[in-house]
Amino acid sequence: MQIAYAQRECQACGAASLQFSAVLHHMTCAYVGPDYDFAAAAGGFCCPKCKREIAPGDAACEVVGISARCNECQREMVVSHPPA
């Protein structure tokens, strides 16, 4: 998922090398994690906690935030949306 946000530097090391990901909430089992935790499946994705398949647009899975991982120090952080 390609996302552009106002935050461009790592909060830990200051490197300008962040990779952004959606943070998903699977309401069926209450798992919350970055989109890369959800493995690809035949009909969409698979929840890493309950192993149920999640189809694109499934109402039981929502985006609750955005995280960033620094490509330099590998730290992860939650980032805010840019001003509207």
Q: In this structure, what token pair is assigned to residue 39?
A: 């493995």
Average pLDDT, the chain: 87
Measure the CA–CA gap between 13 and 34, rounded to whole angstroms.
21
Query: pLDDT for 11-37, tens place per residue?
Result: 889 998 899 999 999 999 999 999 999
Q: What does each C-alpha distance from 19 to 23, 49, 55, 69, 79 come to in angstroms?
A: 13, 23, 24, 5, 11
Q: What does each C-alpha distance from 71 to 5, 29, 47, 65, 74 come to in angstroms?
A: 16, 30, 25, 20, 6
Per-residue pLDDT, averaged over 67-73, amounts to: 93
Instruction: Flag whether the pTM goes above 0.95.
Output: no
